[in-house]
């Protein structure tokens, strides 16, 4: 018997980056299955201990057995429209702002999907260290769960359950025809085109081309452009760059 998927939630994928405790993997499977999310990717360079994970995946063993196991985060999020990193740490080398779980769910989790894979990946970091700076670079947005300052760190499966609940609630409320979004590669390509146009215009970012590229990429992802909207946005910058240096005739 195959794994039953809820159509309104089939575009949601939970990604565990470098999980160190197999029981947390099992508990995550149960947490997401409680709310109808069934797509899971596990980023690890070690074999998954299914025997240790299975008891904690009660009622969701099929999610565990169907989970995709990959060696790198870019591989896990390839083709996604939006990649959200769950983190409580922000900063200059990370993300400047973050969404609450409910705002993230309202804006992105119910993203429509018409033709194409408008997958929304939700990435959770290692239990001890969370998402690294490098891992967060592969995410378009940051999502932070408000917790008490006296005890800010959450158990992995508990954090997953909170996000899964908000995602499920928003997606089910917005169930219906959905429009497609950009994939990760398309978002990256659009950002590169815009940064190239800005360079032609003589604009230089204090963070350099790479910093501007990441800023523009994340901005485009947060805007949730449809492909046709992104093309028009890129075309605007291309035309501005083409007009650079032109002056209206005198007289």
pLDDT in tens, 28-52: 999 999 999 999 999 999 999 999 9
Q: Enter the tokens of residue 157.
A: 């499966």
pLDDT on residue 31: 97
Band (pLDDT 50/70/90 cuts) for residue 206 is low
- Residue 115 confidence (pLDDT): 38
When the pLDDT of each residue in the chain is averaged and rounded to a whole number, the result is: 85
Checking if the pLDDT of 111 tops 70, the result is no
pLDDT for the residue 177 = 45
DSSP, res 115: S
The answer, yes or no, to whether residue 179 has pLDDT greater than 50, is no
Q: What is the mean pLDDT of residues 53-74?
A: 97
pLDDT of residue 74: 96
Asked whether the beta carbons of 164 and 34 are under 8 A apart, the reply is yes
Q: What is the largest CA-CA distance in the chain?
A: 83
Burial 190-225 (b: 16+ CB within 10 A, else e): bbebbbbbbeeeeeeeeeeeeebbbebbbebbeebb
pLDDT computed for residue 231 by the predictor: 87
Q: Domain 7-173, what fold?
A: Alpha/beta knot (3.40.1280)
Which tokens belong to 84? 């959200």
- Are residues 86 and 125 in contact, defined by beta-carbon separation less than 8 angstroms? yes
Q: Which of 60, 15, 2 is nearest to 34 (CA)?
A: 60
Q: What is the pLDDT of residue 233?
A: 87
What pLDDT was estimated at residue 34? 96
Nearest to 127 by CA among 147, 156, 152: 156
Strands (E), 81-206: 82-86, 120-124, 141-143
Quick one: what percent of the chain has pLDDT higher than 70?
86
Q: What is the predicted pLDDT for the residue at 127?
A: 92
Most confident of 9-18, 88-97, 221-230: 9-18
The CATH 3.40.1280.10 portion of the chain extends over 7-173
> Which helix (H) or strand (E) segment is 32 a member of?
helix 22-34
**What three-state secondary structure class fits 83?**
strand
Residue 70, strand partner residues: 43
pLDDT classification of 93: cutoffs 50, 70, 90: low
> Confidence band (pLDDT; 50, 70, 90) for 200?
confident
When pLDDT is cut at 50, 70 and 90, the band that residue 4 belongs to is low
How buried is 231 (Cβ within 10 angstroms: 0-12 exposed, 13-18 middle, 19+ buried)?
middle
How large is the average pLDDT for residues 210-235? 83
Over residues 241-247, the mean pLDDT reads 66
CA 152 to CA 188: how far, in whole Å? 33
Residue carrying the six token digits 């997953």: 160
Residues belonging to the chain: 251
């Amino acid at each position: 018997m195959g794994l039953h998927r809820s159509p309104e939630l089939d575009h949601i994928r939970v990604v565990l980056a470098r999980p160190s405790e197999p029981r947390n993997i099992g508990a995550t499977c149960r947490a997401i299955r409680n709310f109808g999310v069934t797509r899971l990717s596990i980023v690890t360079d070690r074999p998954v201990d299914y025997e240790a994970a299975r008891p904690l995946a009660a009622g969701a063993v099929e999610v565990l057995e169907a989970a995709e196991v990959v060696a790198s985060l870019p591989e896990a999020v390839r083709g996604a429209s939006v990649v959200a990193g769950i983190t409580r740490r922000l900063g200059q080398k990370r993300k400047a702002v973050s969404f609450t779980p409910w705002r993230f769910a309202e804006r992105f989790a119910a993203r429509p999907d018409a033709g194409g894979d408008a997958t929304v990946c939700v990435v959770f970091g290692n239990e001890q260290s969370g998402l690294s700076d490098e891992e967060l670079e592969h995410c378009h947005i940051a999502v932070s769960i408000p917790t008490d300052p006296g005890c800010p760190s959450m158990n992995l499966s508990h954090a997953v359950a909170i996000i899964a609940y908000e995602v499920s609630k928003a997606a089910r409320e917005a169930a219906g025809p959905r429009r497609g979004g950009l994939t990760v590669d398309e978002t990256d390509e659009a950002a590169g085109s815009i940064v190239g146009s800005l360079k032609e215009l003589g604009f230089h970012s204090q963070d350099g081309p790479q910093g501007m590229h990441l800023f523009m990429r994340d901005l485009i992802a947060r805007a949730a452009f449809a492909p046709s909207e992104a093309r028009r946005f890129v075309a605007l910058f291309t035309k501005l760059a083409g007009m650079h240096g032109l002056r209206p005739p005198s007289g």
